[in-house]
Structure 1
Amino acid sequence: MRKPDLDAMAFDDLWLLHEEVTRILSEKITTEKLELEKRLAQLAPAGRSEPRARRPYRKAPPKYFNPVEPSETWSGRGRQPRWLVAALQSGHKIEEFQIGAGDKEAEGSA
């Protein structure tokens, strides 16, 4: 194919060339996209519309409790609850909030 001299072409001719190139590129992009979508459909399993079920985790028993509100507990997993963060920032130690820690101290002093 002979390379056209673009600098010598008139503006109208250049614009027509631009429109033709844009049309051809658009058609090629559309056909390529359809081809890729077909290939993706072949790779992806057809029956998998819902997400995979997560592995069941055992519920961890609580290790720490809030002395102000004993029903508030924490297992030691994940983020620390606000009540524990506030207590630690005010100078308390985490061992003070352990469930059963007070029982052990009472047994040791008796």
Structure 2
Amino acid sequence: MNIDLSTLSRNELVVLQEDVSKALADAEARDRQAALDAARAAASEFGFSLDEISGNSRRRGGRPNGSLSPPRYANPADQEQTWTGKGRKPNWFTEALSRGINPSEMEL
């Protein structure tokens, strides 16, 4: 499709520009929907929903994303800093251990 833009009037060019902008927005929306449909289909092949994979929903087994475990340890210097005992040790916990504090002394 070749359009000789030099033959169009200013008003025709403005209308064409608006039409192209609208067509680009429509094409982007179609591509976005196609990508979303493909991602859902790919996730479905493995038995997941797209929300489960992206972290926008509840995990299998009904647990929501994030920790539901109550805090098990508290920073002796700042009781607002807590840790469940799962995952990577926070810096304050590691520093307390290096100062000789027993983990049982930090338990809640």
State the TM bucket, normalised to the shorter chain: 0.3 to 0.5
Larger Rg: 1
TM-score, normalised via structure 2 length: 0.43
TM-score, normalised via structure 1 length: 0.42
